[in-house]
Structure 1
Amino acid sequence: MSNLTLAPTRTVLVDRLGARSAAANITMVVAGAALTAGAAQLVIPMWPVPITGQTFAVLLVGTTLGALRGALSMVLYIALGAIGLPIFTEGSAGWHVIAGPTGGYLVGFVLAAVLTGWLAQRSWDRQIVGAAVAFLAGTAVIYAVGLPWLSVALGQLGYPNDMGATLQAGFLPFVPGDILKAVAAGVLLPVTWKLVSRAKK
């Protein structure tokens, strides 16, 4: 961790790949939203919060696109789903999804993309520990918004919404997967950086 820094480098992975024009930036934002939409369809059904591939996609988008483009990509994803495109989990859509038990996680996606992108702009994604910590930090942000929202929603639906019930419904089943995602990021991102850097020499 001693080599990690909070000083910005600004360059994230897509910049290294040459995505600097306005058209390229727009394409990357749309691609990030599309990746998240696709990952939302990888589902292990559970209620009220299913296990999906979304969070990995969100954190990957934030890390590779940077804070601003990552956040815009998540805002686009949420907006398109809200107006009716079937891109939320299991092809769902509409404002009722955002207002429902999982709406807080969707809002958390935007903030998580900002945080992971911010850390990537400080080169955290170029080291094993830094990439894993960035993913865990982004995950924590998603829960920080998602769990209180879930608790309120469960109470409105007449279900128990005490801390234990909320953690069981929206946190504990996901911890093993979150750890695996962080480990995967710790391997995938630094290796990708090395491959790209070699190719650009």
Structure 2
Amino acid sequence: MTAISPSSRLVLADRVIPRGIVTDIALVVGGALFTALLAQVEIPLWPVPITGQTLAVLLVGATLGAVRGGSALLLYMILGFAGLPFYAPNPDGSHLTGLAAVAAPSFGYIIGFIPAAAFVGWLSERTWDRKFLKALATFIGGSLVVFAIGVPWLAVVLGASFTEALEWGVYPFIVGGIIKAVIAALLLPAAWWGADKLAARRSAD
């Protein structure tokens, strides 16, 4: 057990790296940095761009578990708010930070990343990330958590109607969201297979 991840349930990170406070902190920081990296992979779109952030959220949550995954995305939000260029870039390459970021239509999605990662991590602690169909359901569920918070935020900021909020904040992301969920659902079982092989080899040695 650790101070950051009190659950005794194993997730992928625990299968590869022994638990410890220093390790947990490093994984949380690494999860935040990984999300920031994929945030730079962007297709500009108004009012919310298509980015790699959601894929990062799914992978971080599944790999680290509920507490560490949620903590990584909380750290991501805090560091971007504080001024680091972590969020998706504007068309001119600049990054919104501070209150300007909070006032953006996309900030609700960033808030939604935190419970989404925790939700995915909670299911992964219960082995939902080890078989394709369960993993796919897990990652689609995580994406829906993001929309559940992001879309109302967008509607309030833009003064949009329910129909407009769906048109601007949901419909453009359905195909991409499914693709991201499928990618994550393929990667995690494959990673578990590799981690189990590695663990068996270590035991044999």
State the TM-score, normalized to the length of structure 2. 0.89
For structure 2, list consecutive stretches of 5 or more residues without a partner in the other structure.
1-6, 90-94, 201-205
Q: In the TM superposition, what whole-angstrom CA distance separates every residue of 1:128-183 from its partner, at most 9, and x where no partner exists?
A: 0111111000000000000111000011xxxxx11221111111011001111111
How far the C-alpha of 1:92 sits from its partner, in A, is 3.0
Q: Which residue of 1 aligns with 2:40?
A: 41
Q: What one-letter code is carried by the residue in structure 2 that aligns with 1:77? A: Y
- On the 8 A contact 1:83/1:95 being kept in 2, the answer is no
Is 2:29 aligned against 1:25?
Answer: no
How far the C-alpha of 1:11 sits from its partner, in A, is 0.2
- On the 8 A contact 1:124/1:131 being kept in 2, the answer is yes
Give the CA RMSD over aligned residues.
Answer: 1.2
Q: In the TM superposition, what whole-angstrom CA distance separates every residue of 1:81-129 from its partner, at most 9, and x where no partner exists?
A: 1111111111332232123211110110000011000000000000101
Determine which of 138, 153, 158 is the counterpart of 1:149.
153
- On the 8 A contact 1:37/1:54 being kept in 2, the answer is yes
Quote the Cα distance in structure 2 between the aligned partners of 1:136 and 1:196: 24
Instruction: Rate the CA distance shift 1:86–1:195 in 2: closer, same or farther, 3 A.
Output: same
Quote the Cα distance in structure 2 between the aligned partners of 1:189 and 1:92: 32
Q: What one-letter code is carried by the residue in structure 2 that aligns with 1:97? A: A
Secondary structure of the structure 1 residue equivalent to 2:13: helix
Could you list the structure 1 runs, at least 4 aligned residues long, displaced by more than 4 angstroms after superposition.
none
- On the 8 A contact 2:58/2:184 being kept in 1, the answer is no
Alignment of 1:1-16 (within 5 A): 10-16=9-15
Is 2:62 aligned against 1:58?
Answer: no
Q: In the TM superposition, what whole-angstrom CA distance separates every residue of 1:16-64 from its partner, at most 9, and x where no partner exists?
A: 0124011111100000000000111111011110000000001110010
Alignment of 1:173-184 (within 5 A): 173-184=172-183
Q: What one-letter code is carried by the residue in structure 2 that aligns with 1:79? A: I
Quote the Cα distance in structure 2 between the aligned partners of 1:38 and 1:185: 17
Count of residue pairs the alignment pairs up: 189
